[in-house]
Chains A and B, each alone.
Chain A
C-alpha cells in the first residue's frame, strides 16, 4: 500500500483529470478506427437510406446527399486522420529530435545553419506550407502525411535543441564527456533519457495541432478523393447543404475533428502541468 500510490492520490496530482479525460477520448477514437467494420452500422460508401434524412434511430447522425450514413462515415473516417496524423508526427518527431540533439550537442556552424533554417520555417504559417507541399505532391493521404511531417520538424527541433543545450552543461554530462565516452553514447544514454518527458508533452500537443492541419488539408481537398470517408472533406461537402438547413452533414464531422484534437490537447496540457510541478520548466 505504501509503494503503490492509490488511484485517489494519483488523481490529486496536477493535470490528472485532463490526462484521464484526454486518454479516454483518444482511446475511444482509436477503438472506433480499429473496430470500424464492427461498430459502423452501414457501409460508408453505400446508400443507407434516402438522401438527406435527418438524424433518427435508424441513422444516428442522419444521411448525406448520397444517402450514405453519416455516423458510419465518421467511424471509418477516423482511420484516415489517425493514420495520417500519427505517421506524420512520428516522422517529424524522429527527424526533429535527432537534428535537435546533434545540433545542440555539437554547436558550431552546423548548429547555426540548422537553427536559421528551422527558425525561418517555424515562423511561417504551417498550414500554408503544408498546403504548398501537398498541392505539389498531389492529393493523397500519403502526401498529406509528408507535408504535415515536414512542417512540424522545426517544432521538435527547436524545443529539443534548447533542452539539449541546458542538459549538456550539467555536471554529469560534462563528467561523461571528460571520461572520454563516445559522443553517441553521451547523446543516447546521458542526454536523450532526460528529454523523453519533454518529447511526450510536445508530441501530444503537436498531434492536436496536426489533427487540425490534416483536417484543413482535407477540407481543401488535398487528402482524399470522394467517396472515401474523411472528416475534413465530408465537412466541405456538408457546407453546400448547410445553407439549405441540412446541418447534420457538417456538424458531426466537424465535432469529430475537434473532439479528437481536444483529446490530445488535454493529455498534453495535463502532462505539461506535471512537468511544471517537477520544476523542469
Chain B
C-alpha cells in the first residue's frame, strides 16, 4: 500500500512531461505553416487595397513579423505561458486573441461536453444491448447504426434535425445559444451552468433548448464508435472464464452484467481520449451549422478576414487542450486500472 501512491504520482508527473513535446511539435508545425508557406499574412489582410507604408509597418509589428524568425518563434512560445496568444490583425485591430478565446471557449466547452455525454450514453447502452442480443436482428441493426453514425456528415445531419425540430415541428431553436430577450448573468460562460447557479429557470430551459440540437448532432455522430467498442469488449468478457464460473456459481444475471461492464469499460476510456480530437474537429462543423458562437465559428470568421494571428492563437489553444485531455485520460486510466502504474 505504501508504494502505491508514489507510483501514481510518478506516473502522472512523467505523463505530464510527455505532453510538452506534443505541444511543442504542434506549435512548431502551426508556426511553420503560417510563416513559411507562401503568402505574407499582412499582405493577405490588406488584399489589393492601398495602405500607407507606416500603417503597413504597424501591421507587421502587430503580427510580430518585424523580428527575425527565431525570435518570433521564441517570443510567441514564451507569450503562451502568460496566455498571450498575440493580437487580432483586423476587425477590430489589436485586440488580444486571448480575450476572444475567453469569450468563445466556454461555448465550445459546453457543446463538446454535452455531445460527449450524449455519445457515451448512447454508445454504452447500444453497445451493451448489441452484445447481449448478439446474433439477433437488434444486434444487426445496431451494428449498421454504428457504421452509419460514423459516416454521417455533421452539417447535413444537423440540418435535418433543424428542419424536423425547428422548421416542421417548431419545437426547438435552430441556432445561437440563448434567445435574444432572455437575461442571464455570465459567470462561467457555460450558460446552462450559469443559469443553475443564479437560479434562473427560464434561462436554463432556454439555453438547454438551444444546446439540445447541436449536442445531439455531434453526440450521435460520435456514438457509433462506442457502440462497436462496447459491444466487442462486452462479448469478450461475457464469454470469458470468470463469467462462466460466476454463472456456474449461480450469481445473478444483473450482477454478472455489472462485473462484465466494469471490465469492458477500461478500453472505452482509451477511446474517449482518442475521440476528443474528433469531438473538437466536429465541433467546428457543428458550430458553423448551428451558428453557435464558439471557437469553431471564431476560426471560420477569422479565415474570412484572413486574420492569421487569430487563427494561429486559436489553433495553438486547441493544441493545449488536446495535450491536457490526453493527460486527464491517462490519469483516469491509471486510477481505474492499477496495471498501468509502474
Contact = CB atoms under 8 A, between A and B. Distances in A.
Interface of A: 116-117, 119-121, 123-129, 131-133, 135-138, 208, 212, 215-216, 219-220, 222, 235-236, 238-239, 242-243, 245, 247, 250-251, 253-255, 257-258, 261-262, 265-266, 269
Interface of B: 21-23, 25-26, 29-30, 33-34, 37-39, 147-148, 150-157, 159-160, 162-163, 166-167, 174, 277-278, 280-282, 284-285, 288-289, 299-300, 303, 306, 308, 311, 315, 318-319, 322-323, 326
A138 B44 CA distance: 10
Contact of A123 (B33, B163, B311, B322): B322
B150 A219 contact: no
B153 A121 contact: no
A262 B33 contact: no
Nearest to A123: B322
Contact of A136 (B37, B154, B167): B37
B28 to A, nearest CB: 9
Contact of A125 (B37, B150, B281, B303): B281
B22 A243 contact: no
A239 B289 contact: yes
A242 B289 CA distance: 12
Contact of A124 (B151, B160, B277, B282): B277
The 9 closest A-B pairs by CB, nearest first: A254-B156, A127-B281, A125-B281, A120-B25, A261-B151, A120-B22, A125-B277, A135-B303, A125-B280
A280 to B, nearest CB: 17
B315 A121 contact: no
B159 A254 contact: yes
Contacts of B315: 128-129, 132
Contact of A245 (B25, B167, B289): B167
Contact of B166 (A137, A215, A243): A243
A145 B196 CA distance: 46
B38 to A, nearest CB: 7
Contacts of A222: 303
Given A236-B155, A239-B155, A124 B174 contact: no
Contacts of B289: 239
22 contacts: A116-B25, A119-B22, A123-B322, A124-B319, A125-B322, A128-B281, A131-B299, A132-B30, A135-B306, A136-B33, A136-B37, A136-B39, A212-B151, A216-B155, A220-B300, A235-B155, A243-B167, A245-B167, A247-B163, A251-B156, A258-B151, A258-B156
Given A116-B25, A132-B315, A245-B167, 13 more contacts: A117-B25, A124-B26, A124-B318, A125-B280, A127-B282, A216-B284, A220-B284, A235-B156, A242-B167, A243-B174, A250-B156, A251-B160, A254-B157
Given A123-B322, A220-B300, A239-B289, A133 B33 contact: yes
Contacts of A242: 159, 162-163, 167
A121 B34 contact: no
A148 to B, nearest CB: 13
A117 B37 CA distance: 19
B155 A128 contact: no
Given A131-B299, A220-B303, A215 B153 contact: yes
Nearest to A215: B153
A124 B279 CA distance: 11
B317 to A, nearest CB: 11
A262 to B, nearest CB: 5
A165 B299 CA distance: 40
A131 B22 CA distance: 20
Nearest to A146: B37
Contacts of B155: 216, 219, 235-236, 239, 254
B37 A265 contact: no
Contact of A258 (B22, B152, B303, B323): B152
Contacts of A243: 162-163, 166-167, 174
A17 to B, nearest CB: 11
A253 B315 CA distance: 29
B285 A219 contact: yes
A265 B326 contact: no
Contacts of B153: 212, 215, 235, 254, 257-258, 261
A133 B315 CA distance: 11
B29 A121 contact: yes
Contacts of A123: 22, 277, 322-323, 326
A124 B162 contact: no
A131 B303 CA distance: 9
A125 B150 CA distance: 16
B113 to A, nearest CB: 16
B224 to A, nearest CB: 11
